[in-house]
Chains A and B, each alone.
Chain A
Amino acid sequence: MTECLTKTGKKVLTKGNYAIANAAVIAGCQCYFGYPITPQSEIGEFMSGKMQELKRGYVSAESELGAINMVIGAVATGVKAMTSSSSCAISLMQEALSYAATDELPVVLVSVMRGGPGLGNIYPSQGDYNQATIGGGNGDYKLIVLAPSTVQECVDLTYKAFYLAQKYRNPTVLLADGMLGQMMEPVEFGEYPYPEIDNSDWALTGAKGRPSRVIRSYGPLADDRCVFLNKLFEKYKTIEENETEWEEFNTDDADIILVSFGGPSRNVKSAMKECRRQGLRVGMFRPVTLYPFPSKRLNELAGITKKFLVVEVNMGQMVRDVRLAVNGKVPVELFNKPVGSPPEVDDIVNEVKRQIKE
């Protein structure tokens, strides 16, 4: 499969997992550390061949804890590095993500969601929305979270994940799901479209000719910690102002707006179109960045529409962020499927009709 690496304009049909891995290689990822877990094992498989071929770093880690901490070590030296995993194994990485956030390290983590909680199963799911956007590590921190909905977006947002991680020195998560990881679509890789970020003022590159540097998360003095956290949250504010991304369709005159992210949003989009075909005024809103969440725009739309219907493959996680954004202006309802492939288009259409009648 490693022969699929291409930078030409030629389209190739490939799985989301391979697309992510290949995009990471093109983005200049120098080190990959990982431990296999379905449904994202193809990422490690691809990297095990390609990184060696390119004389870059690949370590099949002893555990997920090992993998994420190896990424921390690697990115601290100023190189691009990543790991990838899934659900229950991402749980194991939460401590390290909190450290990486306070150390302001550009860790890239690919999270391909499967069924949970606990060991769960290997079917697609969006049950880790909270895990990615709120997190399980201690303290006040944020991870940038990008949610692709097609295999092409798996490529584009992998590039973006590396860029944003470097630009803001912040851990960045590409939040895909088992469906995107396993499905195949034609993609074009092209070149890494972002500028390289100079990290010479902080990376640990050996102290030859300059004073030594230390990267650590320990801040023993209360006042210092206040200053640090305020500064960290200034950075988050900048990220929120500059990097919030979403897509919206037919929202101008919508009586009801469907809100959905990631792979399942494809079915939601089809459902929205079918509703329009039947003469119903239905719109759609898809957050591309889950942090920063497009709250401001949703709040504006609450002044236009009468209702939001959030469609998710979990028990209802993003719906809380939508409700916070809408702030009680209009009702925000949930149509969910606990786990598995996205809800069928007809089922979404029927739910929309039911919601309009209510």
Chain B
Amino acid sequence: MEKNFIIAGFGGQGVLLAGEVLANAFMMAGKNVTWYPCYGAEMRGGTVNCEIVMNDSEEVSAVNKKEADFVVALNQASVDRFVSKIKKGGWMIANSSLAKEIRTRADINYLFAPITKLAENVGNIKMTNILALGILAKVSKLVTLESLTEALDAVIPAHRKNLIPLNLKALKIGYEYDLLPV
């Protein structure tokens, strides 16, 4: 089984880091994974995205895929850009704090959550990315909170370890966000 994810948003929202945490979580769960960033003239405030391809077998994954199973869009520009790339039956997880709740496709699932606002409620707007991962874990059922917790510990550098409790809180709040359409 192969599943691929796109995480996108403003530079500075922690899009690449969220992807790195997700990729680490897959690795820790014994899966093959590839993390591929868009890189170029991106900067803080511009748009940025990364693609994560998870694979159960020993396969080397292709990248730059035409379609994604899951898109996490943290701003309007990312919703607009990637909504057409979602597979039929796939998911758009969008940040309604920064994007309009407009459903342009009938053949995909939408989840709008005020991710930025929820992060502010956790106590730090910088937790937006990790909170989004909590939601993604719940929706996708492809990664556990345990793996994500382990991944956070691996990714967050020594001098930022003090931020782990807040990140875990954000992860949990995302995971327990209860407006999920089933």
A-side interface residues toward B, CB under 8 Å? 3, 11, 13, 39, 121-123, 149-150, 178-179, 182-186, 266-267, 269-271, 341-346
Contacts and interface: CB of A to CB of B under 8 A. Distances in A.
Nearest to B24: A13
A342 B66 CA distance: 11
A156 B102 CA distance: 48
Contact of B60 (A182, A269, A341): A269
A122 B40 contact: yes
Contacts of B66: 344-346
Interface residues of B, number: 22
Contacts of A179: 36, 63
Contacts of A184: 20, 23, 34-36
B63 A267 contact: yes
A149 to B, nearest CB: 7
Contacts of A186: 27, 32-33
B63 A13 contact: no
8 contacts: A39-B39, A122-B41, A178-B39, A179-B63, A185-B32, A186-B33, A269-B62, A344-B66
A34 B127 CA distance: 37
Interface string B132-155: 000000000000000000000010
Contacts of B37: 182-183
B61 interface: yes
Given A183-B36, A184-B36, 8 more contacts: A13-B23, A179-B63, A182-B39, A183-B34, A185-B35, A186-B32, A266-B62, A341-B36
Contact of A182 (B32, B33, B36, B62): B36
B27 A11 contact: yes
Contact of B27 (A13, A121, A183): A13
B34 to A, nearest CB: 5
Nearest to B66: A344
Nearest to B2: A270
Interface of B: 20, 23-24, 27, 32-37, 39-41, 60-66, 154, 158
Contact of A345 (B35, B41, B65): B65
A122 B41 CA distance: 8
B66 to A, nearest CB: 5
Contacts of B154: 13
B63 A341 contact: yes
A344 B65 CA distance: 6
B62 A150 contact: no
A13 B64 contact: no
Contacts of B41: 122
Contact of A342 (B20, B27, B35, B64): B64
Given A13-B24, A184-B35, A342 B63 contact: yes
Given A13-B35, A122-B39, A122-B40, A183 B63 contact: yes
A234 B114 CA distance: 69
A342 B34 CA distance: 14
Contacts of B24: 13
A267 B33 contact: no
Nearest to B34: A185
Contacts of A39: 39
A185 B63 contact: no
Contacts of B60: 149-150, 266, 269
B88 to A, nearest CB: 15
B64 to A, nearest CB: 4
A74 B65 CA distance: 43
Smallest CB-CB A-B distances: 8 pairs = A270-B62, A341-B64, A184-B35, A267-B62, A186-B27, A183-B36, A344-B66, A13-B24
A345 B53 CA distance: 14
Contacts of B23: 13, 184
Contacts of B39: 39, 122, 178, 182
